[in-house]
Amino acid sequence: MPDSAQLVIVANRLPVDRVDLPDGTRGWRRSPGGLVTALDPVMRANDGVWIGWPGGTESDLEPFEDDGLSLVPVSLTEDEIEEFYEGMSNATLWPIYHDVVAKPEFHREWWDSYVTVNRRFAEKAVEVAEEGATVWVHDYQLQLVPQMLRDLRPDLRIGFYLHIPFPPAELFAQLPWRRQILEGLLGADLVGFQMSGGAQNFVRLVRQRVGHKTHRDLVYLPDGRTIRAAAFPISIDAEGFEELARSEGVTKRAAEIREALGEERRVFLGIDRLDYTKGIVARLRAFAELVEEGKLDVDDAVFVQVATPSRERVEQYRILRDEIDRFVGRVNGDLGRIGTPAISYLHSSYPREEMAALYRAADIMVVTPYRDGMNLVAKEYVACRYDDAGALVLSEFAGAADELRQAWQVNPYDINGMKSALLEAFHAPEKDTTRRMRAMRRTVLRKDVAAWARSFLEGLSEIRPEHGKTVRP
Ligand code: GDG
């Protein structure tokens, strides 16, 4: 474990989960996220350190190594989990940043906890960052960290990346702490967003609310510093997914899934964290109405919906879970037949192999968020379709819609529009689906997540080349 590092990643979660080992001790298991796959090579090339919360409330955890990655745990108390994580992060910022799809709550004690926890992350980062190091801060839970870092350590090169949308000024303005958040982000040299729209919203807000001069993607601070705000659309390890999809195990499992669902039936698939931004009920409603109207028959079609448990202690998420349970129960009660339910609903999380097998088994992938920073599920589906088969129905409000132009794009608020798209994708001739899938595959395979990480870090090193050391790509 190095004492100091040239590259420091700061994210809410560490890329590992706490597990009980067979010998009775507690250990760690790598949680397979896109972010760690992307950052693994740059972390290794630069002896990087990753700072994050390991989940839970253990407080005496020391820095450790996991499979060659240096990890530094930041602990949270039970109250902080409630106020900083479930409260301010997931019941205030998350809904505001997603078009106010759910009503955000504002509580001053949540904000206080957000400040405290952000400071703890910043202090940990400066402990391990070498002189002139690059610190890359991730996501909406840690928006105050960039300025805190700058105050403590002006020698650092600081990048920030937001994985979720950055809202229009009219929505952001509701936040009682809007100015503090903008100032927090302005501590960075480069602020990265999924879409150029997010970057533009940010620059406009900085001009309006903080009063700094701006020009295009640049913000000029009174002290002479320049900050850049730009889009870096995230992607996936496309080759890795394709390889997994081609493996014998996944191929066999995909065939089993098809058999279990009924070989004759075509498979619609949704995979999401159970989140109200993902539009799960609306898409199931569209499908159910098609069955009810006789436009689809349960002998010919089934909808498999996987909803991965998420933020289960946040009230809005409990309400949504009940709503889905009720809805699926009613649809299957009304429209299913013995052994052939209309919707096959799974509230569970699965290993990556099972995800790939589901992608391989699905004829029509349905991704219909009301708002989504990018949506990696859509890209993963495309990466797994090495046979150029399969159709993608995709919300125009997912960042991915910008790149996956050949999907059947839908407005998730328009149930009739979604019904038409589902039917069109269902009946599309092979020639059409192949042409679309080929084009989408070219896009997804051309720019993977490693390229995303490189381009962000390159962008960061170009801002003030004379200031700080350069990270090896
Ligand atoms: C945020 C932004 C942005 C899901 N269930 C299981 C599982 N997953 C994996 C998927 C995919 C990832 O989780 C979900 O990523 P998404 O992009 O779809 O959505 P969010 O979780 O909301 O992610 C989003 C992303 O950050 C990256 O910047 O694209 O817009 O909201 O990779 O495969 N993986 C496994 N088992 C599961 O049950 N193994």
- Three-state secondary structure of the chain: CCCCEEEEEEEEECCEEEEECCCCCEEEEECCCHHHHHHHHHHHHCCCEEEEECCCCCCCCCCEEECCEEEEECCCCHHHHHHHHHHHHHHHHHHHHCCCCCCCCCCHHHHHHHHHHHHHHHHHHHHHEEEEEEEEEECHHHCCHHHHHHHHCCCCEEEEECCCCCCCHHHHCCCCCHHHHHHHHCCCCEEEECCHHHHHHHHHHHHHHHCCEEECCEEECCCCCEEEEEECCCCCCHHHHHHHHHCHHHHHHHHHHHHHHCCCCEEEEEEEECCHHHCHHHHHHHHHHHHHCCCCCCCCEEEEEEEECCCCCCHHHHHHHHHHHHHHHHHHHHHCECCECCEEEEECCCCHHHHHHHHHHCCEEEECCCCECCCHHHHHHHHHCCCCCCEEEEECCEHHHHCCCCCEEECCCCHHHHHHHHHHHHHCCHHHHHHHHHHHHHHHHHCCHHHHHHHHHHHHHHHCCCCCCCCCC
Residues 86 and 172 occupy one common structural domain = yes
Instruction: Give a yes or no: residue 467 inside a domain.
Output: no
Q: Is any ligand 1 atom within 6 A of the Cβ of residue 163?
A: yes
Classify each residue of 182-217 as buried b or exposed e, where b means 16 or more C-beta atoms within 10 Å of its C-beta: bbbbbbbbbbbbbbebbbbbbbebbeebeebebeeb
Ligand 1 center from residue 169 Cα (angstroms): 26
Model confidence pLDDT, tens digit, residues 302-346? 999 999 999 999 999 999 999 999 999 999 999 999 999 999 999
pLDDT at 468 over 70: no
pLDDT at 420 over 80: yes
Q: How many domains does the chain have?
A: 2
What percentage of residues in the chain have a pLDDT greater than 70? 97
Which atom of ligand 1 is least distant from the CA of 165? Answer: 30
Instruction: Give a yes or no: residue 466 inside a domain.
Output: no
CATH number (domain holding residue 190): 3.40.50.2000
Q: Is any ligand 1 atom within 6 A of the Cβ of residue 205?
A: no
pLDDT at 150 over 90: yes
Give the pLDDT of residue 28.
86
Q: Is any ligand 1 atom within 6 A of the Cβ of residue 360?
A: no
ipTM exceeding the 0.90 mark: yes
Mutate to test the pocket of ligand 1, among 374, 381, 397, 447 (most ligand atoms within 8 A of CB): 374
Q: Is any ligand 1 atom within 6 A of the Cβ of residue 278?
A: no
Quick one: average pLDDT of 37-41?
Answer: 79
Quick one: average pLDDT of 430-440?
Answer: 98
Residues 62 and 181 occupy one common structural domain = yes
Q: Is any ligand 1 atom within 6 A of the Cβ of residue 38?
A: no
Mutate to test the pocket of ligand 1, among 94, 141, 375 (most ligand atoms within 8 A of CB): 375
**Whole domain around residue 187: which residue ranges?**
5-234+453-461
Ligand 1 center from residue 43 Cα (angstroms): 21
Residues 215 and 317 occupy one common structural domain = no
Q: Is any ligand 1 atom within 6 A of the Cβ of residue 351?
A: yes
Residues 48 and 115 occupy one common structural domain = yes
Instruction: Give a yes or no: residue 212 inside a domain.
Output: yes
* Confidence class for position 258, pLDDT limits 50, 70, 90: very high
Residues 271 and 411 occupy one common structural domain = yes
Residues 203 and 288 occupy one common structural domain = no
Give the pLDDT of residue 29.
82
Q: Is any ligand 1 atom within 6 A of the Cβ of residue 165?
A: no
Model confidence pLDDT, tens digit, residues 173-196? 999 999 999 999 999 999 999 999
Q: Is any ligand 1 atom within 6 A of the Cβ of residue 249?
A: no
Give the pLDDT of residue 272.
96
Q: Which residues contact 313 (CB under 8 A, 6 or more apart)?
A: 82, 86
Q: Is any ligand 1 atom within 6 A of the Cβ of residue 76?
A: no
Residues 275 and 411 occupy one common structural domain = yes
Model confidence pLDDT, tens digit, residues 152-165? 999 999 999 999 99
Give the pLDDT of residue 182.
98
pTM: 0.96
Contact 194, 162 (CB under 8 A): yes
Which atom of ligand 1 is least distant from the CA of 373? Answer: 30
Counting Cα atoms < 13 Å in the Cβ hemisphere of 9 gives 28
Give the pLDDT of residue 26.
82
Q: Which residues contact 401 (CB under 8 A, 6 or more apart)?
A: 394, 395, 407, 409
Q: Is any ligand 1 atom within 6 A of the Cβ of residue 34?
A: yes
Instruction: Give a yes or no: residue 472 inside a domain.
Output: no
Instruction: Give a yes or no: residue 471 inside a domain.
Output: no
Residues 21 and 84 occupy one common structural domain = yes
pLDDT at 372 over 90: yes
Phi, psi of 468 (to 5 degrees): 85, 165
Quick one: average pLDDT of 444-472?
Answer: 86
Of residues 122 and 46, more confidently modeled: 122
Instruction: Give a yes or no: residue 203 inside a domain.
Output: yes
Q: At CA 89, angle to CA 83 and CA 92, rounded to 5?
A: 90
- End-to-end Cα separation, the chain, in angstroms: 21
Ligand 1 center from residue 139 Cα (angstroms): 14
Residues 74 and 220 occupy one common structural domain = yes
